[in-house]
Structure 1
């Protein structure tokens, strides 16, 4: 069980430090419908991560993708290599797309409409960004493969999925919960965090994706 959680930790961190959902959350919290929009977004974000991970766990378990037993599956090795290669490609793309010194980061156009989000629309946006974002989806697939291929019992699978989901959603959950507790004190720090993420997170994400991709490729080669 400990080895599975160890594999999930960097993958969950990779989802957690995604800049777009964190920036979107901050903009919602600074907007006129902060409580409803941010609460809906958090629910959708958690649901998307949980859904993607559980689906992959079910597939990996039923397909017998065990890479930790006495007779490791070659399919599990090839899946890890493929996921790792895709993460490496994303790392290169993130690095090439980072803002240069003196250049402002470009944000998605839909962020201009965040002030109009309701609880339902916020939930839909959270679900879309978590389950349909290519980088997050790859990390959820890698996590689901690690859990489903570990050969653990149902109770341990539940714990592993919960561990990954909670940690992956933490950077959206913490500011939302913090706002509900002390919103007057958070406006300044949240705005400063948004600016920092816009300028530096592409570089941070590229390094993290590079490390995760290399680790997955190495694990796949070890199985083969």
Structure 2
């Protein structure tokens, strides 16, 4: 299980360091219906991570991609493919970063966040964690890393992955619930920084994770 957790932690950090959902939850916390929408978003975010990682954990078992010792050829090819996908996404993010002095372009739906209902926020959280290409690739890789583990150790490793992956969305929601007024200033400052550096952060993160997965895939095939 220790080896699986070692493989899962970089992937979990990759999910956690996702500027767009962090900005989204901060905007919800600064909106009139902060409590309901932010909690709904958090629940959707957690559900998306669990569903995708759990589904591909199950698939590695039924398709024999996982193994208890050396990685199978199928698992190695999957890691190699996911690594290439992440490298491509890294290039796209880097090329899409704003020029010096240019305002960063954020998704149009962010302008309507203050009108979101808890149900809509839950759906958005699920989509951003389960359907977003970067997070989808990371959760698929996490499911593959869980392959070969029995149910008990697998669930324990999965719990570690989920806790780390959702931490950056969970901490602001919990912190705001405990001390709303004290959190407003830091949240607003973090939102401004993430808006300006979203593309650069994502490009560097995807580059590191992509290289790591390609290396693991090639190593498993050699």
- Which TM-score applies when normalising by structure 2? 0.96
State the match for 1:86 in structure 2. Answer: 85
Q: Determine if contact 2:11/2:141 at 8 Å carries over to the other structure.
A: yes
Q: Determine if contact 2:83/2:209 at 8 Å carries over to the other structure.
A: yes
Q: In terms of mean alpha carbon deviation, does 109-118 or 170-179 score higher?
A: 109-118
What SS is found at the alignment partner of 1:106?
Answer: coil
Separation (CA, whole Å) in 2 of partners of 1:159 and 1:93: 35
State the match for 1:18 in structure 2. Answer: 18
Separation (CA, whole Å) in 1 of partners of 2:149 and 2:67: 12
User: What is the total number of aligned residue pairs between the two structures?
Assistant: 221
Separation (CA, whole Å) in 2 of partners of 1:219 and 1:67: 15
Please list every run of 5 or more consecutive structure 1 residues that lacks an aligned counterpart in the other structure.
Answer: none
TM-fit CA distance, 1:209: 0.9
Runs ≥4 residues deviating over 6 A: none
Q: In terms of mean alpha carbon deviation, does 44-53 or 212-221 score higher?
A: 212-221
Alpha-carbon RMSD: 1.1
State the match for 1:41 in structure 2. Answer: 41
What SS is found at the alignment partner of 1:42?
Answer: helix
TM-fit CA distance, 1:28: 0.3
Q: Determine if contact 1:87/1:212 at 8 Å carries over to the other structure.
A: yes
What SS is found at the alignment partner of 1:206?
Answer: helix
Separation (CA, whole Å) in 2 of partners of 1:27 and 1:8: 29
Separation (CA, whole Å) in 1 of partners of 2:75 and 2:154: 18
State the match for 1:4 in structure 2. Answer: 4
Instruction: Say which of 176, 182, 185 aligns to 1:185.
Output: 182
- Which TM-score applies when normalising by structure 1? 0.96
State the match for 1:214 in structure 2. Answer: 211
State the match for 1:204 in structure 2. Answer: 201
State the match for 1:29 in structure 2. Answer: 29
Separation (CA, whole Å) in 2 of partners of 1:93 and 1:78: 23
Please list every run of 5 or more consecutive structure 2 residues that lacks an aligned counterpart in the other structure.
Answer: none
TM-fit CA distance, 1:199: 1.0
Q: Determine if contact 1:67/1:223 at 8 Å carries over to the other structure.
A: no
Q: Give yes or no for the alignment of 1:169 onto 2:166.
A: yes
Separation (CA, whole Å) in 1 of partners of 2:66 and 2:15: 24
What SS is found at the alignment partner of 2:100?
Answer: coil
What SS is found at the alignment partner of 1:129?
Answer: helix
Q: Give yes or no for the alignment of 1:195 onto 2:192.
A: yes
TM-fit CA distance, 1:68: 5.6
TM-fit CA distance, 1:57: 0.2
What SS is found at the alignment partner of 2:99?
Answer: coil
Separation (CA, whole Å) in 1 of partners of 2:72 and 2:6: 20
Q: Give yes or no for the alignment of 1:62 onto 2:46.
A: no
